[in-house]
Amino acid sequence: MRVLLVNSIFGRRVSGSGHHVYTLWKYLQNKVEFGLWNVSSVGYINIPKLKSISFFLKARMKRVPEDADIIHVHNPKFAGLFEKDRKNLLTIHGDYYTELKLEYGRFAMPIIWYIDRTARKADVITTVSPHWSRIRGWKWVPNMIELSEIREIQPADESYLLFVGRDDPIKNYPMFREIAKLAFRRFRIKSLALGVIRKDAEYLRHARVPWEQVISYMKSAVALVITSKQEGLPTTLLEAWASGCPVIANGIPPLKVIHDMHKGALLLFDDVNEALLRINLVSTVGDVREITVKKGYEAVKYFDAPKVANQYYDLYRRLLSE
């Protein structure tokens, strides 16, 4: 079985989708003969607005290896690489309709039209999100996490209210900053934003640190706060569950579905004041904190990397048997 994996980013902790593809490769490389197309093997122009399009155009100029049975693309923008005489699999790490509209407004429509047209060539479309699976009719294959790695990491000496995410409007850092300010005023809890660099305040630090240190902070945190406007199945949520860190999340539809699937494993809020109420509930050792941590650790076992990777393997086999 030969599978061409296509994603511009590939590697440990380099990005959500990049790490997902790396983990898939890691756990199936003894069963599947993988080819890898990423910026290292294909190339790109290192200018922010041109990275994706230049990678795609360079990939279009390459020939798909003749012995590739399946083309597995992990970004809908690259669905134009599918070929008629192969089995084509598209994995979506969220929902491109919603994300592109949030990022580009009405200018997103031509991109969405192009993706819709090229995605029709896929034999199967999967998504890491149970919510978008239901809405779009895509197959759900969840995000994954290596539980064995997280168990080895020790907690930090400091305890903060945490934000973990890239500096992107979709992650809604300004909302977290407001929550952090009020959490300090009311409860004297300090916050730490990892992945965003801004000017520090008395109540809020900023840093970019190695992944192991992120997990270390999670293991000692008051809670992880997810303020995103859109999500699939956040890796940070799974990491917090595995780290024994309570999760307080914006009640957007994709996270409501996860909340309903795993009752008690995360606390949702609809506005800043509700977020503060949830923070107060988990900021001391008590029943709510204990139950939330326990439920989260039970839930994350379903997303361990060997189990999820085997779901892809079964899907590959079904595609080739059709």
Question: Average pLDDT in the 29-35 region?
Answer: 96
Instruction: Return the closest-CA partner of residue 277 out of 221, 238, 223.
Output: 223
Instruction: Return the closest-CA partner of residue 258 out of 292, 233, 235, 224.
Output: 233
Residue count (the chain): 322
From residue 144, alpha-carbon distances to 122, 237, 257, 303 in Å are 23, 11, 17, 5
Tens of pLDDT along 169-212?
A: 889 999 999 999 999 999 999 999 999 999 999 999 999 999 99
Tens of pLDDT along 128-144?
A: 999 999 999 999 999 99
Q: Is pLDDT above 80 for 102?
A: no
Percent of the chain at pLDDT exceeding 90: 79
Instruction: Return the closest-CA partner of residue 194 out of 231, 162, 237.
Output: 162
Q: What is the DSSP string of 51-92?
A: HHHHHHHHHHHSPPPTT--EEEESSGGGGGG--TTSEEEEEE
Give residue 241's pLDDT band: very low, low, confident or very high (50, 70, 90): very high
Question: Average pLDDT in the 105-118 region?
Answer: 86
What integer pLDDT is reported at residue 186 of this predicted model? 96
Q: Which CATH superfamily is domain 147-302 in?
A: Glycogen Phosphorylase B; (3.40.50.2000)
Neighbouring C-beta atoms of residue 236, cutoff 10 Å = 24
Q: Is pLDDT above 80 for 94?
A: no
Give residue 300's pLDDT band: very low, low, confident or very high (50, 70, 90): very high
Q: Which ranges of the chain does DSSP label H, i.e. alpha helix?
A: 16-28, 39-42, 51-61, 96-104, 109-119, 130-136, 147-151, 173-187, 211-220, 235-243, 253-261, 272-282, 287-300, 305-321
What integer pLDDT is reported at residue 285 of this predicted model? 67
What integer pLDDT is reported at residue 321 of this predicted model? 93
- The contacts of residue 50 (CB under 8 Å, 6+ apart) are 44
What integer pLDDT is reported at residue 167 of this predicted model? 85
Give residue 55's pLDDT band: very low, low, confident or very high (50, 70, 90): very high
What integer pLDDT is reported at residue 8 of this predicted model? 92
Q: What are phi and psi of 49, to 5 degrees?
A: -80, -10
Topology adopted by domain 2-144+304-321: Rossmann fold (3.40.50)
Neighbouring C-beta atoms of residue 113, cutoff 10 Å = 10
Q: Is pLDDT above 70 for 106?
A: yes
What integer pLDDT is reported at residue 162 of this predicted model? 98
> Quick one: angle between helices 211-220 and 235-243, nearest 10?
50
- Distance CA(180)–CA(163), nearest Å, equals 9
Q: Which two tokens stand for residue 43?
A: 């190339």
The answer to whether the CB of 127 falls within 8 A of the CB of 315 is no
Q: If DSSP states are collapsed to H, E and C, what string results for 83-130? A: CCCCEEEEEECCCHHHHHHHHHHHHHHHHHHHHHHHHCCCCEEEECCH
- Backbone CA torsion sign across 165, 294, 251, 225: negative
Percent of the chain at pLDDT exceeding 70: 100
Q: Please give the DSSP secondary-structure letter assigned to residue 5.
A: E
The answer to whether the CB of 73 falls within 8 A of the CB of 79 is yes
Q: Which two tokens stand for residue 162?
A: 């945490």
- The contacts of residue 286 (CB under 8 Å, 6+ apart) are none
What integer pLDDT is reported at residue 108 of this predicted model? 81
CATH code 3.40.50.2000 region(s) in the chain: 2-144+304-321, 147-302
